[in-house]
Chains A and B, each alone.
Chain A
Amino acid sequence: MLTPARIPYLLLLPATLFLCAFFLYPFVLVAIEAFTRDGTFTAQNFQTALGHWKFPAAMTNTLLLAAVVVPIQTALALLMAVLVTKMTSGRDMALYVFTIPLGISDLAAGIIWLAIFEQSGFLNSMLYHLGIIDQPGTWLGYQSKGVIFAAVVLAEVWRATAIMLVILVAGMGLIPKEYDEAAEVFGASPWKRFIRVTLPLLRPSLQTALILRVILAFEVFAVVAALGGTSLPVLMGETYHWQFALQDRGVAAAFAIVILAISIAATLVIMRALRVPKEARI
């Protein structure tokens, strides 16, 4: 019988079943896959994965990329959000343009920045037009890892700042104007108001934005593939490589578990660092 008490469960049932079947269960499968080989429990997959000569580079690159990209994005997203809220005209247009990259896939972003950095690309063309170089140089060659890294950072910042911006602008919209005005009346400068009032009140949104972004940063894959091929190994790329080129699902699963582990660790750290007590929320 359809009693009111049962309605919510009926409504939740399909989504719950789906998430159990295609989210929880597969993760159990990955874990099993990672810890077994030919049906027996073993750490061999991890030994292979972690012992592979590319693993330290992949791990360092992934973490370093996140460590460089996310702070830049946070600052840039905050700047954009503040500018947008202060704008009197053209606000909607600016917001639309700023959020365009939200709809762009990482692969497309990689290709876009490839158009700039490739040998006959726009960067070299510009330098040539300006008379700085005579011959197009190779930017993304396998020996210039630093440039590839920088290009990936640029592409990631370009592409994925928008998601943080959206969350932060939405969060700022929830903060009543009176707080800022009160601080102004009490003599706080615009900078002080931002640091002492807006930023602390924005903490819940900042937390969400950071968690989302850090995890996505650990999943960086297509941008790197487009710009650096295999010259700049990252964890997700290695996972893909083991699954396909090397056809070793066990090791691929071990990589997956490593990514999962650093994702969860990062989430916990951010949640702790930016925790807002329930009673201190708006």
Chain B
Amino acid sequence: MTTTTLTDALPAHRKRGRFAMRAAVVALLLWVLVPLWLLAVNTFSSPDAVNGFPKSLVPEFDLGSLSFFAGFQGVSRALLNSAIVALLTMIMSIGLGAPAGYALSRFDFRGKESFRLLVLMTRAFPLPLLALPLAVMFIRVGLDDSLFGLALVHTTLALPFAVLITFSLFSGIPMELEEAAWTLGCTRIGAFHKVVWPLIRPGIAASAVFAFVISWNEVFAASVLTIQNRTLTAFLLQSLDVSPMPLKFAGGFVLVVPALIFIFLVRKYLFAMWGIANR
């Protein structure tokens, strides 16, 4: 009620400004959503409709394209591979990154700046290129065309984020809480377990999801490092020229959906994480 009265009381130029603002927001929302909608239209139409012309702007709700995609040689394997690599990446980047983030947020020590520099340096390097030398290295150690090998490269991509994000998450928990736990009888590990962990858990989950998405979406390294064991992105890239349209669109859709869900899950953390992580 109060808001309506306030809006009514606004002077004319303010109202016009309000209107322009709303229009801009709606336009930008459409800009993001319409392409997604169109992809969905293609995905939920029969292969004939996808290849046909002209196209309708509403889907037929036909699962033909999707079942064609699902039944296509190598697709289910690629999906599974993508999930495995993303899971491995998630575990490794959080497992390695969170302790580092904790150390950066809680201790002052010699070499701290060098480590930060190392992490920040990764930002100035086109990391997918790492796949080139690692392809050779992996052949030597028998990791070539392996999901674990690819997960190692993806971890390199996700680790700096994991370090910076967990650093900012840990920094958000006052040192005093841990110290209070120490004075109340906790060991260092006990205080972490009883006080820090319950508070940090949701944030860690969010950064884990972030790592998952980074790996799930990565194309270049995946295409360079996997040959028989294709991930979904590698599979789609290599069949871009040869595969029929319905396959591409259904594949694109399947690639997008988990990402959408994940971003929805972590939306609360997205900004808080970047707030400090971008220092």
Contacts and interface: CB of A to CB of B under 8 A. Distances in A.
Are chains A and B touching in the complex at the 8 Å CB cutoff?
Answer: yes
Interface of A: 5, 7-9, 11-12, 14-16, 18-19, 22-24, 26-27, 29-30, 33, 76, 79-80, 83, 86-90, 92, 94-108, 111-116, 118-122, 124-126, 128-129, 136, 158, 166-167, 169-171, 173-174, 204-205, 208-209, 211-212, 215, 218-219, 221-222, 225-226, 229, 236, 239-240, 243-244, 249, 252-253, 256, 259-260, 263-264, 267
Contacts of B92: 18
Contacts of A221: 128, 219-220
Contact of B132 (A11, A136, A249): A249
B62 interface: no
Contacts of A218: 126
Interface residues of B, number: 95
A62 B113 CA distance: 33
A105 B29 contact: no
Interface of B: 3, 21, 24-25, 28-29, 31-33, 35-36, 38-39, 41-42, 51-57, 92, 95-97, 99-100, 102-104, 106-107, 109, 111-112, 115, 118-119, 122-130, 132-137, 152-153, 155-156, 159, 163, 188, 213, 216-220, 223-224, 233, 236-237, 240-241, 245, 248-249, 251-252, 255-256, 259-260, 262-264, 267, 270-275, 278-279
B109 A5 contact: yes
A208 B95 CA distance: 25
12 contacts: A26-B133, A30-B133, A96-B264, A97-B29, A106-B217, A111-B251, A116-B35, A119-B53, A171-B275, A204-B279, A253-B133, A256-B126
B129 A225 contact: no
B137 A263 contact: no
Given A107-B255, A208-B278, A222-B219, A267 B99 contact: no
A12 B99 contact: yes
A146 B149 CA distance: 39
A124 B55 CA distance: 9
Contact of A7 (B107, B136, B270): B107
Given A15-B97, A19-B118, A211-B123, 4 more contacts: A22-B134, A103-B263, A112-B256, A173-B275
A14 to B, nearest CB: 5
Main SS at interface, chain A: helix
A122 B218 contact: no
B220 A240 contact: yes
A15 B100 contact: yes
A118 B245 contact: yes
A240 B188 CA distance: 49
Given A107-B255, A122-B38, A80 B275 contact: no
B124 A215 contact: yes
A16 B267 contact: no
Given A15-B97, A260-B126, A219 B220 contact: yes
A23 B126 contact: no
B107 A256 contact: no
A33 B174 CA distance: 48
A79 B159 CA distance: 31
Contacts of B53: 119-120, 124-125, 128, 136
A80 B126 contact: no
A79 B23 CA distance: 13
Contact of A16 (B115, B123, B128, B251): B115
